[in-house]
């Protein structure tokens, strides 16, 4: 596989669309579409920039999950607290800000931050990090009018039940599965 050409085909407010032209293993050209959260100056920059964080938060023996309406699937799903890095913001500052904005909670302690990974490698170069943290405080709604989020801490038994009956984002589902089976950070 060899990348021959890359062209931006749409410059949206939050996503940039690119068309990649590849030479496949049979020697034929193949067009492939991707989206990115940032401008990609050239092929060497594909997948290089970390754009956000997913937060696996705990309070005592409970795990934080958000039930939020996601327009892309037109329904409520269970998800992790997450968000995009703002210009000049450190990952730690992003974690604090997103926890507060989406839940009203404060960051008590960062347990660990995993190295960057791809969020949706089949159609995007978006790279994020996963942070495991302890949170504290009271739930408050600081979301924008374009977000519908309900945050709650769940016990292992409650998480096991949700895994059987509710829909999740893939990262939240995996984190919840390991938490419910005592395999978390």
Which superfamily does 50-180 belong to?
Nucleoside Triphosphate Pyrophosphohydrolase (3.90.79.10)
pLDDT(99) > 90: yes
Which is more confident, 142 or 33? 33
Tell me the C-alpha to C-alpha distance, in Å, between residue 117 and each of 72, 76, 142, 166: 22, 25, 28, 25
Nearest C-alpha neighbor of 116 from the set 150, 91, 143, 149: 91
pLDDT number for residue 8: 97
pLDDT(183) > 80: no
pLDDT(143) > 90: no
pLDDT number for residue 14: 87
Enter the pTM of the model: 0.91
Q: Could you state, in order of their start, the residue ranges of all structural domains in the chain?
A: 2-36, 50-180
Share of the chain above pLDDT 90, in %: 90
In whole angstroms, give the CA distance from residue 78 to residue 13: 26
Tell me the C-alpha to C-alpha distance, in Å, between residue 102 and each of 141, 142, 167: 7, 6, 19
Average pLDDT score over the chain: 95
pLDDT number for residue 185: 55
Angle CA(22)–CA(28)–CA(32) in degrees, nearest 5?
A: 35
Tens-place pLDDT, residues 50-72: 999 999 999 999 999 999 999 99
pLDDT(30) > 80: yes
pLDDT number for residue 95: 98
In whole angstroms, give the CA distance from residue 13 to residue 184: 36
């Amino acid at each position: 596989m060899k990348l021959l050409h890359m062209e931006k085909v749409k410059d949206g407010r939050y996503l940039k669309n690119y068309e990649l032209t590849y030479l496949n293993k049979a020697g034929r050209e193949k067009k492939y579409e991707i989206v990115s959260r940032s401008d990609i100056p050239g092929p060497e920059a594909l997948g290089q920039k970390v754009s956000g964080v997913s937060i696996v938060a705990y309070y005592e023996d409970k795990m934080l999950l958000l039930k939020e309406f996601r327009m892309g699937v037109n329904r409520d799903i269970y998800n992790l607290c997450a968000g995009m890095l703002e210009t000049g913001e450190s990952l730690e500052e992003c974690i604090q800000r997103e926890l507060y904005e989406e839940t009203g909670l404060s960051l008590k302690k960062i347990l660990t931050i995993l190295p960057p990974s791809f969020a949706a490698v089949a159609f995007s170069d978006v790279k994020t990090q996963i942070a495991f943290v302890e949170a504290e405080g009271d739930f408050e709604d600081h979301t924008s009018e374009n977000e519908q989020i309900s945050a709650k801490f769940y016990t292992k038994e409650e998480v096991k039940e949700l895994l059987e009956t509710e829909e999740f984002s893939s990262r939240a589902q995996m984190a919840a599965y390991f938490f419910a089976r005592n395999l978390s950070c």
